[in-house]
Each structure stands twice: as structure tokens, then as C-alpha cells.
């Protein structure tokens, strides 16, 4: 009935249109892309000064009727800009449009709204790439590495689906979280970069300066990453199908010696040492253990084990996405599904992700718009239980599983009489046995009670095969948004959004998994995170002649429920039954649980003003009230101000032909960090049960205060104040675009633990004490080098540098922190955030004679093992002839001097080649691997270069063994350059031309080859496999103990082949 | 139109009245200020104090008897002569 009414209403209009047409002429034509010659659909065609017109069809054609007095046709599209042609007498046009030469019309998402690029006065970077989903990585954050100036993404682990470390403009917190805030379509989603389907991403904006991020108030101090997903446009349904498959393998592995090679080397060294008069010939021999290992590999097995390949495999990488988008006048939709399967290159490393997104925009009435966004997703992940070090440090003589000969040997120990061929072999199986066999020099040797290997190290393959570390995540992001147009220019938006993340994990170790007699253990984890958001904003835009005014006022309420539970079950009847109820015991000491509810109420406002897009001005304010803080400290205020001056639009400069645009920007703002330790403001009672009687006695519940740290009711936000200056410059009709930003930020009120007087009974209390400074600059450069019809070449580059300095650490002048090998990390006021403190070395002591000479000259030391021939030679840096802790100097810091990315896109007809280079320079790392590889004696370069005797000192730099001489980990021997550059991504694609596409009845078809890490260049003194890798467990989770590497898996190299079909 | 404006202001009002949202106490642990309100709670608090005294009783011998001549030192599996 309603429709009928509508039609009736429309009838007169149609008639009117018919009358009007009579006076017009029909113009037809076709619009194609200048570079590719492909037809362009959806380009708006408007006659003269009319407001309405038509749009081009799928095949790029259009038909428009124009009045006789109309002289021009205007073609416009968001990504192609505007072009006007005069009509004259022609009735048919073929128009070629070049991809937007201007960024003027570009719209930038700035948080609670959008802004024209030309009016932006803060530091906002926009990254838009339709092919971001073709990057051979499984997470969006990995694909963003090196793409945006000021955003440092570091892939600290090569495991499938591993989270990279991201920082925007440095580190500005010590005890609170320092990761940027991630916002997906207006909803705060902390793990948004992990689960989002890269195919769904329309654009990624990064709010870098405090003035831009201040609208996110108490959570903006580490920068904000805004992800906007695609939505439908009024058009026929458009389908897109993409599928890519490929494989992953390691870029580089260690050159490891076999045991045979190694023992042969030892025999050669022994023969050499016989000719050296400084060597005590009584001890010049090859150890029994090494001789026994030679017999096992050479005579019992006749083979060696390549332990690296016991960890590494060829992983299959798959990426599938299917989407449909379109819409009629009233309803627009975007529906997509995606699957990503990333089989890591390590055994038992896997990441799989399934995504569905339904996004609809409905015009309920002229004034009422409803948007619904649903995104359920599922991910599962599997991780190997052993790191890479534990593989390659295994000696080659050790078999993965026993063969008949080795099992028979192991059975000669009556305690191991049950070992049979096929069982996992451990080094301890070969201990205290009798060995006899031929040696490399042809002699026959017999030894009793010989142990070729240690007893502690487990067979890593047995460990990985018999333990499973799995987790599944179920996520749902759902949002309903109602937009009401209250008056002209005045819109009210109410958004109700929820994000639920439920994850469960099971880490299961099978019975006897690495040692006989260990019970099977299952650690069950259940975590749920629920984020609820109600956001109400009023948006006002008004243009009065040359004055552009926008105003925003909003109220938001958020609630976050976090529940974490972990239960550990022991002794399951079977390894195949992994339910908690079947566990014979629950290990209470490894069972924990927490529940937290966080509330946040906020008011926010922003006013922007632009005069002729020339003088720009913006102020914003956000007030946040959080349940994280105590009464009286709940509310914080985060104001900002920014100004801009488009000098290029001034008369004086607008005459300069080559200068297209010049804009100066300046901003100042305050942001906060509320991710502090929970409940630092209130003293709590903790469980302290009192057991009565003996083992059968009962336990009485008790509660007591915490014994280590006192609360502080005045705890408040960490606050960052940042000043930013920027210049946007574009030259030669936007052929060259340059953006430069410099910033200086100070974070104060850092949450630290401060020592307190003993009479309180406690040692420390929480206080807002510390202060950090971040300074740096960022350059973005975009050029269009060649813009021909058939040949196109564009370049975009970015470079950024940041320095983090400690301004204040409360009452402390410096902090010295130790890592797992007692290596020292210093945090000193007035110095970079983290510095490695250790001894400088000058090669090794070449001989006892050299040591004697140095001692005779007066050199002494209070430290142990300083004077050992073949050991590291420490430098007496302060020149007092005494080597002690005062000689320790700064050996470097983990922060890179600068990072960069460079993308080149070259298009020739249907071919397109894009290659992306990325690098990081000047950072240092502490390499924990030498501590394992060089004592395990497996690395060829080490074994051939090391000191053997005074007569055979090797290269004079490589010490004899780890156990001899001064501890390597306290010296610059393990400090290495973490700089690298790499050919990160290469994408070569071919698009079928219009004729071919028509024949196969598609709208577009492309095939592409994509590769990652084709070339990776690391510094010459870097000894391990992945300079990006970092160890983040235990003490290293603190930002004050940074830059340590151990057990990193090699860099993956990925090759993909894919198709991209539009129909 | 008018309804919408009222709706807006009503929603604003509802939100601002959500003071409860940010007045929250921890859920993992009891806050001291809300405890020790009745006999049972004081009893539980006292149990906690006793539990705190237990380690002292368990370790006290290390400071006293262990250092006297009535203790025999020696570790399991060690071949060294005890109390040397």
C-alpha cells in the first residue's frame, strides 16, 4: 500500500521529467582510467552547474541528457578527482581520468568524526591500500610494518600469529601499558589488529600527536590507531573473490657442525698443540665424552641429526576472502567472509582465523540513518613448547629416536633395560656407559663410565611432540549506530557497541613427556573480556561564506568486564582424555582467577574553524572519569589546541607555479595513560589461610593485607604533554608531496614504586613520580615519478627517529636491572630509557705470557676469572690499573636511531610491480644465544675461529669456551648491532584487460605473486638468525629490561600466488 | 523533531547519572575499609595474622637450634661426613 502511495506521489514528477527531456540532448560516452585503460564505474557525471547527474556504469559508459545551454560536463570521483570537459557539438565522449592528483579532497578519520585532509592541523597519518590483504602475513599489524612514519612495528617472534611490538613515537610509560590504543569503527578493541580481516580494512589512520589523540583522553598517550572497515555504496552487487596460497620457509639457518666434523677438529687441534711448547702435553687430549660422541655418530648411527630441521618445516599459508557489497538508495551493505591459515614454519606452530562481517547502512527516513555492523570471528593458535635454541644446541650425535644399536647401548645400563628402538632418545640415556671404537686418527679407544652429553637437557623433539599448547578465541564485535539529522548541519549520533572476546586455552603435557615418571599436566585457561560502549555525539557543521565551522560534543560511557581463570589438573588417566574432571588432582598453586570491572565515563568536545581553508584552528577537550582511581582522583582533563596555516594559498605564494601546497601546522595537547596497575589506590586484603594440625588438618580461612606494597589514595593518570610542528608541502601539481613533523613530548606522573620508611612494615608504595621525554621527527615523501597512459611509477617513503630519555625516577638517580644471565640494564636519569652496562673487551688473552706482562705492569682485578689465557680480555676503561665494576661502560641501547620504509609501485599496462623495503638502524641487542651455541660447540664459525692455545690463538677475538675466562654475558662480546634492512614485500600482478575480461564475463581479474623477506640484510657482527627477535618472558616483560634476544626462530620467507576476481 | 531533542537530553541525563559506573571497588579482593565489620570478619582477620606468624615458627629453628651443637648437618645423597 505504502509503495503504491509512493508511486502515485512520484507520477507527476516523472511526467515533469519527461517534459523537461524534450528540450535536451543526449550525450553518451565512456570513462576509463588513464593509467590502466580500465573502465571506471561510479564516476559521477554532472552537466553544467547542476547538482544532480548520473554515474557511470560497470563498463564505464554513461548517458546523460543536457540542456542546450549547458556547455560543460564535470566528471568526478573520490579517488580520481574532478575533470571538466566542454561539450561543444559533440554528443559522444571518451574521457580518461587520472588517479587523484590531489589529496585536497581526501577525508581523514580523526576520532569521533572525519576531517578534510586540507583542514587537518594535527599529526595524523593515513594508510590506505586496497591490497594490504595480499601481504603474506596473517595479521594486520604485521602488514603495517614500515608503512607509516612514526609507527615502529617489530616482529619480535617469527611464530605464526605472534603479536608484534608496536610503539608510536617512542615509549612513554614504565609500569603502565605502552601499546597504542586500537579503535575499530569507533569501538575500543585492544586486540583489533589481531583479528580483523585485512580484506575488510578501508583505511588505517594513526593519531600521532597529543592534540589529535587528546580526544581519546586518558588512553591516548601512546597514540591511537583507528581502523575503518569497508562499507557498501549505492551500486549493483559487486562480488570480490580472492584466494592466495603459498609456503613459508626459513630465510637462513645456522651452519652447524656434525659431531664427526667437530671431533675431527678436536683431534686436529690436539695434533697442533703437540707442536706448541706453551701447552701442557699431559692434559693435551680429547675428552672421553667427545670420543664417545664420535663413536655414537660414526659407528653406531652412521648418521647425524640435523636438529634445526627437527623444528623447522615448510608451512603452508592460505588466504581466502569473499565479499559482496552494493546497495540501493535506502540500503547499503557490505558482507565479507575471510579465512586465513598460517602454518608456521615450526612444527606445532599454527594460526587460523575465520571472519564474517555484515555491515549495513539503512536510511530509515531522510533524517534517520541506521547502521549495523556485525563481525564475529574465530581464531585458533598452536605454539611449539620449545624455542629454537633448544633445538640447534642439541649435539648431532644424539638421535631423535633410538635405533637398534643405540637402544642396545643404552640397555647396557640395567636401569635403562626397557629402552627399545623407536623410543625418544635423551642425552642421559648415554651417560656412564662403556664405549669402544675407532677414533678419527685411526686409533682404537675404549672408555668406561663415559658420559658424552649432559643430563639436564631434554630431547626437544620429544618435548614438542608430546605437549600441546593451543588456544581458541571467539570474538564478536557488534554495533548499532543511529544517526539523526536534527537540523541542517546538526546531527545526533548514538552508538551502542559491544566487543566480546572469549578465549580458552589448554596447555597439555603428556605423561613422561620429557622425563620418565612425570605425570601428565593440563593447564586450562578461560578468559573473557567484554567491552561495552554507549556513545552519544552531537555534530554540527556550518559553512558561512569562507568560514568552515565544525563542533562536536559527546558523552560516552564504557564498561569493561575482564575475567581470567586458570586451573591446572594433574595425573590424567590417559593422554587422550583431556577434560579437567578426569584429572586425579587439581594443583591449587597453579590455579588462579581474577575478575575486574572497569568503568569509564567521559565528556568530549571539539571545535574546528577554518577560514578559506587557509587559517585553521582546532580545540578539543576530553574529561575522563575512571573507576581505576580513588575518590577525588577519578576525573582527569585532557585538552588540546592546534593551529594551521596554509601559506601556499596566500596570494604571494599562489603565483609560484611549482608550489601546489604549503601548510604549517602546530599543536599542543595533553593525553593520559590509565593502564596502570589496578587498585594502586586502595589497600586490599589477600587470602592467608591458617592450617591447623598435621596433614589431615583443616585450613581456616584468613585474610591479611599485602606484605610488600602500600597503596596510595592519590594515585592518578600518567600524563603526556606533547608539542608538534609539521609542514605539508606539495610541489609540481602534487607530483611531489612531503610531510615533515617534529615533536617533543614529556610524560609525567609515571607510576613507580617508591621506597618507604620501615615503620610502616612495608617496603614500597605506589606513587606518581617518574618522568620521560620523547623527541623525534618523521618525514613522509610521496612522489609520482612517471604518469603516462601505459606506464606509471609512484614512490612513497617514510623515515622516523625517536629518542626516549629519562627525566626523573622519583628519588632514584638510576636503576640497575638484571636479566636472566645477570647482564645489566641501566636506567639512568638524563640518559636513554635503557642502556646496556658492561665491560669492554679487547679480544682475548692470547697467552699466559701476555697476562704475566700485564700483571707485571700493575694490572689487578677484584673480579674472578679475569686473567685466563683464551678468556676475554677486559679493558681497564678508567685507567686505574684495576679491573672492577667501575670499569663498566654503556655498551649501547636497544632503541634504533631511525627506522624507514620505502614503497615503489610500477605499472606497465596490465602489469604492476610493487616492492617494499624496510629497515631499522642503530639499535643494539644483547644476544643470549652465544651462551648456548658456543658452549654447545655446534656453530662452525665459532669453532673454527676460537682460541686453542698460545700458538694457535684463532682470530684473537673468539674466546676458548664459555666456561673459561670472564663471563661473556657481562661484556660487549654479546652486544650486537640490531640494524637491518630488508626487501620485505614484493608483489607482481597482472590484470586482464577489458576485452579478455568481457570474454570471461567478469568485471576484473588479476593474478598475483607475492613474496615476503626475499632479501634480509643484518649487521656484520650479528651472529644469530633474526635481528628483530626479542625474548619477552620473565624479567624481560618490563620496558626497563629491553633488547635481549634468545632462541628466536629464523626469519620466515613466504611466497604466495593468488587470484583476485571481481564479478 | 522535538521528541528527538527530548530523547537526546534524556539520554544525556541517564548517562550523567551513571556515577555508579566509575565508583567501583575491586572484585578480586576485599578492601580494608569495608572489612572488620562483625565478629566473623574479625575472626578471619585474626586467622590471617596467625598465618603470618607461621613462617616464623617454621623457620625459627634455623636461627636457633641449627646453630647449636645439637644439630647434625648433612644433605641427602651427600657423601661428606655430617657435621664437619
User: Could you report the per-residue pLDDT of B5-59, keeping only the tens digit for each?
Assistant: 666 555 655 555 577 788 888 888 888 888 888 998 898 888 888 877 777 777 7
CB A1032 within 8 A of CB A1045: no
Give the span between the Cα atoms of A620 and A220, in whole angstroms: 13
Instruction: Output the nine-digit C-alpha cell for A386.
Output: 620449545
Give the span between the Cα atoms of A894 and A167, in whole angstroms: 14
Beta strands in A684-756 (DSSP E): 684-687, 690-691, 699-700, 703-705, 709-710, 718-731, 736-755
Which residue do the cell numbers 692434559 mark? Answer: A283
> With an 8 Å Cβ cutoff, is A600 touching chain B?
yes
* Per-residue pLDDT at A935: 55
CA distances from A204 to A315, A517, A660 (A): 29, 53, 26
Rg of chain A over all Cα atoms, to the nearest angstrom: 34
The pLDDT tens digits of the residues spanning A506-519 come to 999 988 877 777 88
Which of B20, B34, B47, B56 is the best substitution to test chain A (most A C-beta atoms within 10 A)?
A: B47
- In this structure, the strands spanning A224-229 and A181-184 are parallel
| Nearest CB to A627; choose among B24, B28, B35 | B24
Cα nearest neighbour of A600 on chain B: B22
Give strand pairing partners of A836: A825, A892
CA distances from A504 to A507, A525, A528, A577 (A): 10, 5, 9, 17
Give the span between the Cα atoms of A42 and A77, in whole angstroms: 7
Instruction: Output the nine-digit C-alpha cell for A402.
Output: 633410538
The shortest C-alpha distance from B53 to chain A (Å) reads 10
CB A200 within 8 A of CB A336: yes
The shortest C-alpha distance from A515 to chain B (Å) reads 21
Give the span between the Cα atoms of A258 and A845, in whole angstroms: 29
Cα nearest neighbour of A487 on chain B: B1
Task: Look up the ipTM and state it.
Answer: 0.70
Q: How far apart are the first and last CA of chain B?
A: 96
Contact residues on chain A for B21, CB-CB shorter than 8 A: 557, 559, 599-601, 627
pTM greater than the 0.90 cutoff? no
Contact residues on chain A for B30, CB-CB shorter than 8 A: 684-685, 703
Cβ pair B23:A701 closer than 8 A: no
Instruction: Output the nine-digit C-alpha cell for A550.
Output: 565544525
The pLDDT tens digits of the residues spanning A82-128 come to 777 777 777 777 777 766 544 456 788 888 888 888 788 888 888 88
Instruction: Output the nine-digit C-alpha cell for A522.
Output: 593440563
Cα nearest neighbour of A556 on chain B: B15
CB A392 within 8 A of CB A308: yes
Give the span between the Cα atoms of A1003 and A376, in whole angstroms: 29
Burial of A1 from C-beta contacts in 10 A (0-12 / 13-18 / 19+): exposed
Contact residues on chain A for B51, CB-CB shorter than 8 A: 688-690, 702, 704
Helices A259-274 and A288-295: crossing angle in degrees, nearest 10, is 140
Which residue do the cell numbers 640494524 mark? Answer: A979
User: If residue A1026 lies in a helix (H) or strand (E), which one and from where to where?
Assistant: none
DSSP states of A739-767 as a string? EEEEEEEEEEEEEEEEE--GGGS-SEEEE
The pLDDT tens digits of the residues spanning A577-617 come to 888 888 888 888 788 888 988 888 889 999 999 888 889 89
A462 φ, ψ to 5°? Answer: -65, -40
Beta strands in A893-1034 (DSSP E): 898-908, 911-921, 924-927, 975-977, 980-991, 1004-1018
| Nearest CB to A703; choose among B16, B25, B44 | B44
Report which of A230, A310, A315, A386 is spatially closest to residue A1012, judged by C-alpha positions: A315
Give the span between the Cα atoms of A1047 and A1049, in whole angstroms: 6
| Nearest CB to B22; choose among A634, A684, A707 | A634
Residues of chain A whose pLDDT is less than 50? 1-22, 101-103, 695-696
Contact residues on chain B for A626, CB-CB shorter than 8 A: 22
Which of B29, B41, B49, B53 is the best substitution to test chain A (most A C-beta atoms within 10 A)?
A: B29
Contact residues on chain B for A704, CB-CB shorter than 8 A: 45, 48-49, 51-52
CA distances from A633 to A214, A627, A749 (A): 19, 10, 13
Amino acid at each position: 500500500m505504502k509503495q503504491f502511495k509512493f508511486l502515485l506521489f512520484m507520477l507527476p514528477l516523472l511526467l515533469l521529467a519527461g517534459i523537461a527531456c524534450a528540450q535536451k540532448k543526449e550525450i553518451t560516452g565512456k570513462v576509463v582510467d588513464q593509467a590502466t585503460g580500465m573502465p571506471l564505474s561510479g564516476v559521477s557525471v554532472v552537466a553544467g552547474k547542476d547538482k544532480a547527474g548520473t554515474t557511470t556504469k560497470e563498463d564505464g559508459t554513461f548517458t546523460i541528457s543536457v540542456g542546450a545551454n549547458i556547455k560543460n560536463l564535470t566528471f568526478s570521483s573520490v579517488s580520481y578527482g574532478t575533470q571538466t570537459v566542454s561539450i561543444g557539438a559533440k554528443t559522444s565522449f571518451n574521457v580518461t581520468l587520472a588517479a587523484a592528483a590531489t589529496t585536497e579532497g581526501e577525508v581523514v578519520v580523526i576520532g569521533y568524526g572525519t576531517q578534510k585532509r586540507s583542514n587537518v592541523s594535527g599529526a595524523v597519518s593515513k594508510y590506505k591500500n586496497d591490497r594490504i590483504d595480499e601481504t603474506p602475513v596473517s595479521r594486520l599489524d604485521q602488514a603495517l610494518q614500515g608503512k607509516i612514519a612514526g609507527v615502529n612495528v617489530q616482529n619480535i617472534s617469527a611464530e605464526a600469529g605472534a603479536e608484534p611490538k608496536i610503539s608510536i613515537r617512542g615509549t612513554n610509560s614504565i609500569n603502565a601499558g605502552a601499546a597504542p590504543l586500537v579503535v575499530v569503527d569507533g569501538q575500543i578493541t585492544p586486540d583489533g589488529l589481531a583479528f580483523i580481516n585485512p580484506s575488510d580494512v578501508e583505511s588505517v589512520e594513526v593519531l600521532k600527536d597529543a592534540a589529535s589523540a587528546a580526544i581519546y583522553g586518558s588512553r591516548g598517550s601512546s597514540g591511537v590507531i583507528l581502523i575503518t572497515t569497508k562499507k557498501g555504496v549505492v551500486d549493483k552487487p559487486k562480488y570480490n573473490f580472492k584466494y592466495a596460497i603459498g609456503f613459508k620457509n626459513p630465510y637462513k639457518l645456522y651452519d652447524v657442525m656434525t659431531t664427526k666434523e667437530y671431533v675431527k677438529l678436536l683431534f686436529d687441534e690436539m695434533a697442533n698443540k703437540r707442536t706448541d711448547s706453551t701447552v701442557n702435553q699431559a692434559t693435551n687430549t680429547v675428552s672421553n665424552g667427545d670420543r664417545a660422541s664420535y663413536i655414537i655418530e660414526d659407528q653406531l648411527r652412521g648418521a647425524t641429526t640435523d636438529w634445526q630441521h627437527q623444528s623447522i618445516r615448510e608451512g603452508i599459508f592460505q588466504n581466502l576472502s569473499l565479499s559482496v557489497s552494493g546497495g540501493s538508495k535506502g540500503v547499503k551493505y557490505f558482507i565479507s567472509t575471510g579465512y586465513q591459515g598460517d602454518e608456521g614454519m615450526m612444527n606445532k606452530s599454527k594460526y587460523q582465523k575465520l571472519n564474517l562481517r555484515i555491515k549495513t547502512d539503512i536510511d530509515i527516513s531522510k533524517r534517520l540513518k541506521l547502521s549495523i555492523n556485525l563481525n564475529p570471528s574465530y581464531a585458533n593458535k598452536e605454539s611449539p613448547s620449545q624455542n629454537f635454541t633448544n633445538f640447534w644446541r642439541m649435539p648431532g650425535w644424539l638421535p631423535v629416536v633410538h635405533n637398534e644399536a643405540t637402544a642396545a647401548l643404552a640397555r647396557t645400563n640395567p636401569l635403562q633395560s626397557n629402552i627399545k628402538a623407536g623410543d625418544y632418545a635423551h642425552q642421559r640415556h648415554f651417560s656412564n656407559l662403556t664405549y669402544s671404537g675407532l677414533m678419527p686418527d685411526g686409533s682404537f679407544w675404549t672408555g668406561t663410565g663415559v658420559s658424552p652429553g649432559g643430563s639436564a637437557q631434554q630431547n626437544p623433539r620429544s618435548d614438542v611432540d608430546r605437549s600441546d599448547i593451543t588456544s581458541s578465541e571467539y570474538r564478536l564485535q557488534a554495533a548499532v549506530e543511529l544517526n539523526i539529522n536534527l537540523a541542517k548541519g546538526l546531527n545526533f549520533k548514538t552508538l551502542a557497541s559491544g566487543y566480546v572476546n572469549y578465549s580458552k586455552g589448554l596447555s597439555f603435557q603428556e605423561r613422561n613427556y620429557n622425563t620418565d615418571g612425570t605425570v601428565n599436566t593440563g593447564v586450562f585457561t578461560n578468559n573473557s573480556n567484554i567491552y561495552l560502549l554507549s556513545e552519544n555525539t552531537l555534530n554540527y557543521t556550518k559553512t558561512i561564506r569562507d568560514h568552515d565551522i565544525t563542533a562536536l560534543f559527546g558523552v560516552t560511557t564504557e564498561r569493561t568486564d575482564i575475567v581470567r581463570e586458570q586451573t591446572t589438573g594433574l595425573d590424567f588417566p590417559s593422554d587422550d582424555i583431556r577434560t579437567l574432571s578426569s584429572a586425579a588432582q587439581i594443583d591449587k598453586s597453579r590455579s588462579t582467577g581474577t575478575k575486574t570491572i572497569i568503568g569509564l565515563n567521559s565528556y568530549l568536545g571539539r571545535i574546528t574553524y577554518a577560514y578559506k581553508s587557509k587559517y585553521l584552528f582546532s580545540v578539543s577537550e576530553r574529561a575522563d572519569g575512571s573507576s581505576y582511581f580513588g575518590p577525588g582522583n577519578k576525573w582527569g582533563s585532557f585538552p588540546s589546541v592546534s593551529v594551521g596555516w596554509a601559506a601556499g594559498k596566500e596570494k604571494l605564494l599562489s603565483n609560484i607555479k611549482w608550489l601546489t601546497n604549503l601548510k604549517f601546522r602546530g599543536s599542543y595537547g595533553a593525553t593520559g595513560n590509565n593502564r596502570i596497575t589496578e587498585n594502586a589506590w586502595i589497600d586490599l586484603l589477600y587470602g592467608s589461610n591458617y592450617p591447623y594440625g598435621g596433614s589431615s588438618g583443616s585450613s581456616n580461612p584468613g585474610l591479611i593485607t599485602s606484605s610488600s606494597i602500600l597503596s596510595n589514595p592519590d594515585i592518578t593518570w600518567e600524563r603526556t604533554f606533547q608539542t608538534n610542528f609539521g609542514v605539508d608541502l606539495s610541489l609540481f601539481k602534487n607530483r611531489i608531496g612531503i610531510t615533515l613533523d617534529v615533536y617533543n613530548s614529556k610524560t609525567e606522573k609515571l607510576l613507580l614504586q617508591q621506597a618507604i620508611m620501615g615503620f610502616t612494615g612495608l617496603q614500597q608504595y605506589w606513587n606518581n613520580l617518574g618522568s620521560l621525554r620523547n623527541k623525534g621527527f618523521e618525514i613522509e615523501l610521496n612522489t609520482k615519478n612517471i604518469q603516462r597512459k601505459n606506464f606509471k611509477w609512484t614512490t612513497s617513503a617514510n623515515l622516523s627517529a625517536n629518542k626516549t630519555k629519562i627525566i626523573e625516577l622519583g628519588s632514584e638517580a638510576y636503576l640497575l636491572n638484571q636479566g636472566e644471565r645477570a647482564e645489566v640494564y641501566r636506567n639512568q636519569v638524563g640518559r636513554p630509557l635503557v642502556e646496556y652496562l658492561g665491560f669492554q673487551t679487547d679480544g682475548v688473552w692470547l697467552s699466559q705470557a701476555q697476562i704475566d706482562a700485564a700483571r707485571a705492569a700493575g694490572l689487578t682485578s677484584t673480579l674472578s676469572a679475569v686473567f685466563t689465557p683464551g678468556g676475554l680480555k677486559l679493558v681497564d676503561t678508567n685507567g686505574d690499573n684495576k679491573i672492577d665494576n667501575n670499569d663498566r661502560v654503556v655498551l649501547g641501547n636497544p632503541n634504533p636511531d631511525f627506522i624507514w620504509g620505502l614503497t615503489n609501485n610500477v605499472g606497465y599496462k596490465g602489469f604492476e610491480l610493487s616492492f617494499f623495503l624496510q629497515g631499522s638502524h642503530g639499535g643494539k641487542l644483547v644476544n643470549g644465544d652465544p651462551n648456548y651455541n658456543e658452549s654447545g660447540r655446534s656453530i662452525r664459525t665459532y669453532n673454527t675461529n676460537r682460541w686453542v692455545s698460545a700458538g694457535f690463538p684463532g682470530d684473537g677475538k673468539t674466546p676458548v669456551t664459555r666456561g673459561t675466562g670472564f663471563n661473556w654475558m657481562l661484556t660487549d662480546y654479546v652486544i650486537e648491532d640490531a640494524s637491518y634492512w630488508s626487501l620485505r614485500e614484493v608483489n607482481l600482478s597482472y590484470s586482464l584487460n577489458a576485452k579478455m575480461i568481457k570474454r570471461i564475463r567478469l568485471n576484473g581479474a588479476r593474478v598475483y605473486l607475492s613474496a615476503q623477506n626475499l632479501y634480509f640484510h643484518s649487521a656484520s657482527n650479528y651472529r644469530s638468525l633474526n635481528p628483530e627477535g626479542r625474548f619477552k618472558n620473565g624479567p624481560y616483560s618490563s620496558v626497563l629490561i629491553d633488547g635481549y634476544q634468545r632462541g628466536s626462530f629464523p626469519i620466515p620467507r613466504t611466497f604466495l600466488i593468488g587470484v583476485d576476481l571481481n564479478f | 523533531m522535538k521528541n528527538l531533542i527530548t530523547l537526546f537530553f534524556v539520554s544525556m541525563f541517564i548517562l550523567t547519572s551513571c556515577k555508579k559506573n566509575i565508583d567501583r571497588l575491586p572484585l578480586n579482593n576485599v578492601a580494608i575499609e569495608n572489612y572488620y565489620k562483625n565478629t566473623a570478619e574479625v575472626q578471619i582477620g585474626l586467622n590471617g595474622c596467625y598465618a603470618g606468624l607461621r613462617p616464623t615458627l617454621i623457620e625459627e629453628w634455623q636461627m636457633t637450634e641449627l646453630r647449636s651443637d645439637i644439630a647434625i648437618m648433612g644433605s641427602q645423597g651427600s657423601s661428606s661426613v655430617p657435621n664437619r
